[in-house]
Amino acid sequence: MGGRGEVSVEPEGEGALVVRVSGEWKLEGTVPSADEVRDALVKRSPRRLRFDGAALGEWDSALVTFLASVNDLSRERKIEVDDSGLPDGARRLLRLAEAVPEKPGVRRSAVRASFVERVGTGAVEMVRAERETLDFLGEVTLSLGRFVTGRARVRGQDLLLFVQECGAQALPIVTLISILVGMILAFVGAVQLEKFGAEIYVADLVAIAMVREMGCIMTAIIMAGRTGSGFAAQLGTMKVTQEIDAFATLGISPMEFLVLPRMLALVLMMPLLTIYSDLLGILGGGLVSAGMLDITPFQYITEGKRVLTATNCFAGIGKSVVFGALIAFAGCLRGMQCGKSSSAVGEAATSAVVTSIVLIVVADGIFAVVFNFLHI
């Protein structure tokens, strides 16, 4: 550890002060502040100030910081400074620190914006964000139109890669979550239904809940966390490393080349994953039924088949297509809106998950109202 730096301020003749610095002035040691000098300057109002470093031991930036502070104080009071008594290195560093003056207007004001200003800024920002979202939606729609008419530049190789990423690679986590959700539904249902001797209806509960709601919702939430955030991080990183700019300057639409294959892949894979999730959820429910309620697999399947209708199945699968589009939209939107720093990539990924989940829940609510209205 470093030693201790000391400072003393003494008058020297008419209207002059001498600032003596002594001892060790190291960052790792203990150094005095410039307050003592400030007090002396206020009290004595000198015209000249001289530094004396004759008794100075080892020093580093700690000394230069102190000297720079005293220099600033002297400059404010138009006091002439004589630093010839300081080591050469310290004087050179002081010159260097003062070589480039501060550009006018560059320093940020520390004044906190008023409440009204903050509300106004927030509102303007919200409108800007909404406009960006609508722009993005419009561009996606146009790209999709070009894709449908065979005019979009989508690399088949990329599409297949994303299909693999969104489909096959998501199977393990979808498997685990779906079986567990099915088991939980059956367990909770069994406890209640047992009271009425209606254990067999556990099969109805699990089948309808999985196929209509839980299969698509749980898959969507998994995909939002896994794939939506991944899309945002991939596109965000490409934004930071100017890869997206490179596409744009080559005249290649990032929408067609980057966003469209991701959206198509997720929209294609979501229904398949949902069907897979439905089946595994029902399987999970069956395991609990067989283990806890003595319902045979045959009884469970027969009851499930009886209650499940094509409408129920298509309701869940239809919703999953919409959820897939929303997740891909949110992930790609946040990725393309990403800032130009590494932390912005993380923020984009987080924001993609939050946006996706909000959109999924809102969309599911709308579906519930519409299905109810249509008596589905």
Partner 1 sequence: MGETHIAVDKVTLAYGERVVLRDLDFEIEKGKVFVLMGGSGCGKSTVMRAMIGLLEPASGTIRYGETSFTGASPEERYRILRSIGVLYQSGALWSSMTLAENVALPLGEFTRLGPKEIQEVAALKLALVGLRGFEDYYPSEISGGMQKRAGLARAIAMDPDVLFLDEPSAGLDPVTSRLLDELILELRDSLGATIVVVTHELASIFTIGDDSVFLDAETRTAIAKGSPKELLEHSQDPKVRRFLTRGKDGKDGERKAEPRV
Binding residues vs partner 1 (CB under 8 A): 27-31, 33, 60-62, 64-65, 68-69, 88-90, 92-93, 96-103, 106-108, 339-344
Shortest distance, CB of residue 333 to partner 1, whole angstroms?
A: 20
Closest to 332 in 3D by CA, of 342, 343, 322, 324: 324
Shortest distance, CB of residue 30 to partner 1, whole angstroms?
A: 7
Assign 8 to helix, strand or coil.
strand
Q: Which two tokens stand for residue 242?
A: 């100017």
Given the structure tokens 């699990």, which residue do they identify?
206
DSSP labels, 311-360:
HHHHHHHHHHHHHHHHHHHHHHHHHHT--SSHHHHHHHHHHHHHHHHHHH
Specify the residue, 45 or 342, whose C-beta has the smaller distance to partner 1: 342
CA distances from 281 to 66, 78, 158, 260, 297 (A): 69, 80, 31, 31, 14
Report d(CA 361, CA 249) in Å as an integer: 38
Specify the residue, 103 or 195, whose C-beta has the smaller distance to partner 1: 103
Report d(CA 356, CA 225) in Å as an integer: 9
Specify the residue, 3 or 318, whose C-beta has the smaller distance to partner 1: 3
Q: Where are the alpha helices (DSSP H) in 167-308?
A: 171-194, 202-208, 215-223, 229-240, 243-249, 254, 260-292, 297-307
Element (H, E) at 49: strand 48-52
Specify the residue, 14 or 88, whose C-beta has the smaller distance to partner 1: 88
Shortest distance, CB of residue 147 to partner 1, whole angstroms?
A: 34
Report the amino acid identity of residue 102: E
Shortest distance, CB of residue 70 to partner 1, whole angstroms?
A: 11
Specify the residue, 93 or 259, whose C-beta has the smaller distance to partner 1: 93
CA distances from 248 to 64, 245, 252, 334 (A): 49, 5, 5, 18
Shortest distance, CB of residue 122 to partner 1, whole angstroms?
A: 20
Contact 227, 173 (CB under 8 A): no
Shortest distance, CB of residue 252 to partner 1, whole angstroms?
A: 25
Specify the residue, 140 or 338, whose C-beta has the smaller distance to partner 1: 338
Report d(CA 70, CA 80) in Å as an integer: 11
Q: Which two tokens stand for residue 308?
A: 């499940």
Specify the residue, 90 or 308, whose C-beta has the smaller distance to partner 1: 90
Specify the residue, 287 or 344, whose C-beta has the smaller distance to partner 1: 344
Specify the residue, 141 or 342, whose C-beta has the smaller distance to partner 1: 342
Closest to 278 in 3D by CA, of 212, 226, 340: 212
Residue 172: what are its φ and ψ, rounded to 5°?
Answer: -55, -45
Shortest distance, CB of residue 99 to partner 1, whole angstroms?
A: 7
Residue 67 half-sphere exposure, CB side, CA atoms within 13 Å? 32
Shortest distance, CB of residue 351 to partner 1, whole angstroms?
A: 15
Shortest distance, CB of residue 264 to partner 1, whole angstroms?
A: 32
